[in-house]
Structure 1
């Protein structure tokens, strides 16, 4: 069986409520790592929007696909981060791939939106006020995106 390497193009989706409480999920493979929804494209030609919808559904059970009530809550923030892939996950990428491009989205959901984690990927979740969420997540780019939430949540055109 040959290894299928991850594509070094991913999404970060900050899920939040109207009062800017942010959903953080704890990784199953690194229990001290809290984060927003993240995930790589399944194919090079997969649009980032499709990746975001798929990853949100896979990781949280929240459906924001076209035709759903939450469709309008998914905002493409038109921002990208490029960062070095963490050494602990480097083996998931093809030899020589050391950097990832991450496209940012926000998803506003009503308070009390049910969360159903994929136990293979995540073991717990919590809703935190955005500043506390930024302090809790392990990734600096994730924390930065969360801290931009008050501006980004209201300034971008919906996709």
Structure 2
């Protein structure tokens, strides 16, 4: 586990991020969604994201680790349900973040997860990574995301049955 306040990735032996990451939509049974605002890009709201620490790190471990690092939530705690949605998005890496990857790397593969927690609650952000948090109804959360794949993942919550 990376100490609180550390970057969301650990450099590989080469010093570059691995172009395999997770997107974790944190939500409640009522379909309220947690969004966090990037510290390095004000106005860029997103779900939890992060890269693998090693090429052989299982995506589920990456998802649980990134949730802990970015929000302080324990994805595996009683009452929390972490689910691999079986979706992978391949996208062009935003130009402002290309320097984090090995030269010539321009695409990232992102595996999508959902984390259902019992209720909205404040989370503990790493100020180095994120500057604000908000809980929004799922449609409003999708509208606020800067990433199209993140918005599409949140819209999948429309298929959940709400008690």
TM-score, with structure 2 as normaliser: 0.87
Instruction: State the shift of 1:39 in Å.
Output: 0.1
The equivalent residue for 1:69 is 78
Which segments of 5 or more consecutive residues in structure 1 lack a partner in the other structure?
155-159
Q: Provide the C-alpha distance between the structure 1 equivalents of 2:130 and 2:158, rounded to a whole number of angstroms.
A: 26
Q: How many residues align?
A: 149
Matched ranges for 1:46-85 at <5 A: 46-65=57-76, 68-71=77-80, 73-85=81-93
The equivalent residue for 1:119 is 127
- Give the SS at the match of 2:111: strand
Matched ranges for 1:119-158 at <5 A: 119-151=127-159, 153=160
Instruction: State the shift of 1:111 in Å.
Output: 1.4
Which segments of 5 or more consecutive residues in structure 2 lack a partner in the other structure?
1-12
Aligned residue among 18, 22, 29 for 2:40: 29
Larger relative helix fraction: 1
- Give the SS at the match of 1:148: helix
The root-mean-square deviation of aligned C-alpha atoms, in Å, is: 1.4
TM-score, with structure 1 as normaliser: 0.89
